[in-house]
């Protein structure tokens, strides 16, 4: 029987978080927290400040979910109380988001309640995520309708960490449940499935676990890139997928790489992954990053925050290119830092937040010459030809336009300065940059190439 002692539960959760988070993040956000009480299936945790509460709820939901699952506390709800605030009266637990049909075994699995922000309407779509989002929306819109020539079962979404794969996956599940509350929808991460399976194997009784997953209408399987080292887990997941596919049940899968690059996975499992539609998510471009920041500021948690100047949003968007999570986290840190010292969120505060987070001077600009040389190398043209050769041939024109775009995007170079470097009028530079942006919107391959180059230079 599971302990109801708040201190024991929090110790289990802390131990899991200490393994999942960088030491500095654990020390800053988790170490100061203390358990308050356990009531009606909810563990109340005291946090030292409103900033800590907001950071945990906005930036660490997946880590908390993993720690709960790995500690055997998957059905435990968490509430965070700011130090010195009274604990609200207990509320009845929310209805589960997973329903059973008559005669079916009741499952305790539902969406982690810290994933409440993961809905499709809150996903900001950019050139690098158009296909994945369109596929996610189509899964919701077409569920239960007559089969179409384009199969999206399973829908396999892949991309780097923090780009929104789990957001889309959970958004699909929530969208389906909004339309049909009677659906049986289950979300599970592969690592947590492995932990659950290990317990079942020790008990020498894995059949009930397999049937529990096979009875669902929709399976959301997160982070399958870890499957390569789990032989028995692969076998169980294969049987579950096979059963669900044979019965027309919807499957959504996420990974950090495409099916054909999943090392150690059995070929028959990879074949099942590739049966439907595979869609990737790429890092967002500058315009999308700005849109994400503005969408983030619409959250109820940020109501009452002083207006964020455009120059601050631009600075954040230029510095946080790696992932949506990095981007949102940097914005949150700027707002925290401003509130803690009692000043508006100015560019100076953003510089200080960047220095505190990365250890780098925010004004340490990347030399434009480095940008131009790396662009020439990527396109396999000489640096001299890139900068000086007067040609309308695509082999020179496209790399030159990309170099101009990157100089503006990475180094924030004025149009006139870029023009002088290429011996061109600033209006020609503006047209070249607009041309690159337009092509990135309509050509996914070109977008991926430019984005990869941008990330490699930065």
Q: Which residue has the higher pLDDT, 240 or 320?
A: 240
- CATH number of the domain that residue 21 is part of: 3.30.300.180
How confident is the model at residue 42, as a pLDDT? 87
User: Would you say residue 106 lies in a domain?
Assistant: no
Last residue of a domain, one of 335, 358, 381: 358
**Residue 410 belongs to domain spanning:** 368-457
**Is the predicted pLDDT of residue 282 greater than 90, yes or no?**
no
Neighbours of 395 (CB within 10 A): 12
- Tell whether 34 and 183 lie within a shared domain: no
Q: Which residue has the higher pLDDT, 217 or 75?
A: 217
* Beta bridge pairs of residue 159: 281
- Tell whether 157 and 45 lie within a shared domain: no
Q: What is the pLDDT confidence band of residue 279, given thresholds at 50, 70 and 90? A: very high
- Tell whether 220 and 320 lie within a shared domain: no
pTM of the model: 0.70
Q: What is the pLDDT confidence band of residue 84, given thresholds at 50, 70 and 90? A: low
**Is the predicted pLDDT of residue 94 greater than 50, yes or no?**
no
User: Would you say residue 321 lies in a domain?
Assistant: yes
How confident is the model at residue 165, as a pLDDT? 92
The stretch 204-226 carries a mean pLDDT of 89
**Is the predicted pLDDT of residue 448 greater than 80, yes or no?**
no
**Is the predicted pLDDT of residue 404 greater than 50, yes or no?**
yes
Length of the chain counted residue by residue = 458
- Tell whether 210 and 65 lie within a shared domain: no
The stretch 207-213 carries a mean pLDDT of 88
How confident is the model at residue 88, as a pLDDT? 55
Q: What is the pLDDT confidence band of residue 150, given thresholds at 50, 70 and 90? A: low
- Tell whether 121 and 270 lie within a shared domain: yes
* Beta bridge pairs of residue 43: 38, 78
- Tell whether 237 and 204 lie within a shared domain: yes
Residue 149, helix vs strand vs coil: coil
Residue 433 and residue 120 in contact, taking contact as beta carbons nearer than 8 Å: no
- Tell whether 134 and 273 lie within a shared domain: yes
Domain total of the chain: 4
Give the burial string for 333-368 (b: 16+ CB within 10 Å, else e). Answer: bbbbbbbeeeeebbeebbbbbbeebeeeebeeeeeb
- Tell whether 56 and 153 lie within a shared domain: no
The stretch 363-370 carries a mean pLDDT of 73
Last residue of a domain, one of 236, 266, 281: 281
The stretch 199-203 carries a mean pLDDT of 86
Which of 302, 393, 395, 383 lies closest to 345, judged by CA? Answer: 302
**Is the predicted pLDDT of residue 83 greater than 80, yes or no?**
no
User: Would you say residue 255 lies in a domain?
Assistant: yes
Q: Which residue has the higher pLDDT, 429 or 75?
A: 429
How confident is the model at residue 172, as a pLDDT? 94
Last residue of a domain, one of 281, 312, 339: 281
Residues 6 or more apart whose CB falls under 8 angstroms from that of 126 comprise 284, 285, 287, 288, 291
| pLDDT-above-70 percentage for the chain | 89
Alpha helices in 180-308 (DSSP H): 190-202, 207-214, 231-246, 267-273, 286-296
- Rounded-to-integer distance, Cα 192 and Cα 222, Å: 10
The stretch 260-282 carries a mean pLDDT of 89
Give the burial string for 401-429 (b: 16+ CB within 10 Å, else e). Answer: bbbbbbbbbbbebebeebbebbebeeebb
Backbone angles phi, psi at 201, to 5 degrees: -65, -40
User: Would you say residue 94 lies in a domain?
Assistant: no
Task: Give the burial class of 274: count Cβ atoms within 10 A of its Cβ; 0-12 exposed, 13-18 middle, 19 or more buried.
Answer: middle
User: Would you say residue 146 lies in a domain?
Assistant: yes
Token pair in block for residue 361: 């001077």
Distance of CA 127 to the CA centre of its chain: 16
- Rounded-to-integer distance, Cα 68 and Cα 54, Å: 19
How confident is the model at residue 89, as a pLDDT? 53
Question: What DSSP string describes 280-305?
Answer: EE----HHHHHHHHHHHTTSGGGTTP
The stretch 93-121 carries a mean pLDDT of 55
How confident is the model at residue 99, as a pLDDT? 38
How confident is the model at residue 108, as a pLDDT? 37
- Rounded-to-integer distance, Cα 307 and Cα 32, Å: 30
User: Would you say residue 390 lies in a domain?
Assistant: yes
- CATH number of the domain that residue 447 is part of: 1.10.1750.10
pLDDT digits (tens, 9 = 90+) for 408-421: 888 778 899 999 99
Residue 84 and residue 47 in contact, taking contact as beta carbons nearer than 8 Å: no
**Range with top average pLDDT, 42-51, 236-245, 280-289, 346-355:** 236-245
How confident is the model at residue 107, as a pLDDT? 37
Token pair in block for residue 192: 């947590």
Q: What is the pLDDT confidence band of residue 132, given thresholds at 50, 70 and 90? A: very high
Residues 6 or more apart whose CB falls under 8 angstroms from that of 149 comprise none
- Tell whether 121 and 237 lie within a shared domain: yes
Residue 196 and residue 107 in contact, taking contact as beta carbons nearer than 8 Å: no
Backbone angles phi, psi at 345, to 5 degrees: -75, 80
How confident is the model at residue 455, as a pLDDT? 64
Residue 234, helix vs strand vs coil: helix
Q: Which residue has the higher pLDDT, 144 or 86?
A: 144
Distances (CA, A) of 86 to 42, 90, 180, 367, 396: 16, 12, 38, 53, 66
Residue 188 and residue 233 in contact, taking contact as beta carbons nearer than 8 Å: no
The stretch 342-361 carries a mean pLDDT of 75
Neighbours of 186 (CB within 10 A): 20
User: Would you say residue 97 lies in a domain?
Assistant: no
Identify each DSSP E strand in 83-159 by its residue range.
155-159
User: Would you say residue 107 lies in a domain?
Assistant: no
- Tell whether 261 and 343 lie within a shared domain: no
- Tell whether 131 and 268 lie within a shared domain: yes
The stretch 48-67 carries a mean pLDDT of 82
CA 72, 73, 78: angle at the middle one, nearest 5?
A: 160
How confident is the model at residue 103, as a pLDDT? 35
- CATH number of the domain that residue 349 is part of: 1.10.8.60
- Average pLDDT score over the chain: 83
- Tell whether 381 and 345 lie within a shared domain: no
- CATH number of the domain that residue 267 is part of: 3.40.50.300
């Amino acid at each position: 029987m599971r302990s109801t002692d708040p201190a024991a539960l929090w110790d289990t959760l802390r131990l899991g978080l200490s393994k999942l988070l960088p030491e500095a993040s654990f020390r800053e956000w988790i170490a100061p927290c203390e358990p308050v009480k356990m009531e009606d299936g909810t563990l109340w945790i005291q946090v030292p400040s409103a900033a800590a509460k907001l950071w945990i709820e906005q930036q660490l939901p997946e880590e908390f979910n993993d720690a709960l699952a790995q500690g055997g506390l998957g059905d435990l709800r968490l509430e965070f109380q700011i130090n010195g605030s009274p604990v609200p009266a207990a509320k009845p637990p929310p209805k589960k988001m997973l329903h059973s049909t008559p005669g079916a075994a009741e499952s305790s699995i539902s969406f982690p309640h810290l994933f409440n922000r993961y809905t499709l309407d809150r996903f900001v779509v950019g050139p690098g995520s158009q296909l994945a989002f369109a596929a996610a929306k189509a899964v919701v819109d077409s569920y239960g309708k007559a089969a179409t020539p384009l199969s999206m079962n399973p829908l396999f979404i892949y991309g780097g960490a923090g780009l929104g794969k789990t957001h889309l996956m959970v958004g699909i599940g929530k969208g389906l449940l909004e339309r049909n509350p009677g659906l049986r929808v289950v979300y599970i991460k592969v690592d947590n499935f492995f932990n659950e399976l290990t317990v079942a194997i020790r008990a020498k009784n894995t059949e009930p676990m397999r049937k529990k997953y096979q009875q669902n209408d929709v399976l959301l399987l997160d982070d399958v890139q870890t499957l390569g080292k789990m032989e028995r887990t692969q076998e169980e997941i294969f049987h579950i997928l096979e059963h669900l596919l044979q019965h027309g049940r919807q499957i959504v899968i996420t990974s950090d790489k495409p099916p054909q690059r999943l090392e150690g996975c059995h070929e028959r499992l990879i074949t099942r992954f590739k049966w439907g539609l595979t869609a990737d998510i790429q890092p967002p471009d500058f315009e999308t990053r700005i849109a994400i920041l503005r969408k983030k500021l619409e959250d109820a948690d940020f109501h009452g925050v002083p207006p964020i100047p455009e120059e601050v949003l631009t600075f954040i968007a230029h510095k946080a290119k790696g992932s949506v999570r990095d981007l949102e986290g940097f914005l949150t840190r700027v707002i925290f830092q401003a509130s803690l010292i009692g000043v508006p969120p100015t560019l100076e505060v953003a510089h200080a937040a960047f220095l505190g987070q990365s250890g780098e001077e925010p004004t340490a600009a990347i030399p434009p010459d480095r940008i131009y040389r790396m662009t020439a190398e990527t396109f396999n043209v000489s640096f001299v030809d890139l900068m000086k050769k007067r040609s309308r041939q695509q082999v020179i024109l496209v790399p030159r336009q990309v170099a101009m775009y990157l100089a503006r995007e990475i180094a924030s170079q004025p149009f006139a300065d870029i023009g002088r470097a290429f011996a061109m009028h600033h209006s020609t530079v503006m047209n070249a940059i607009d041309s690159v942006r337009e092509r990135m919107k309509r050509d996914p391959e070109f977008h991926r190439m430019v984005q990869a180059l941008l990330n490699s230079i930065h």
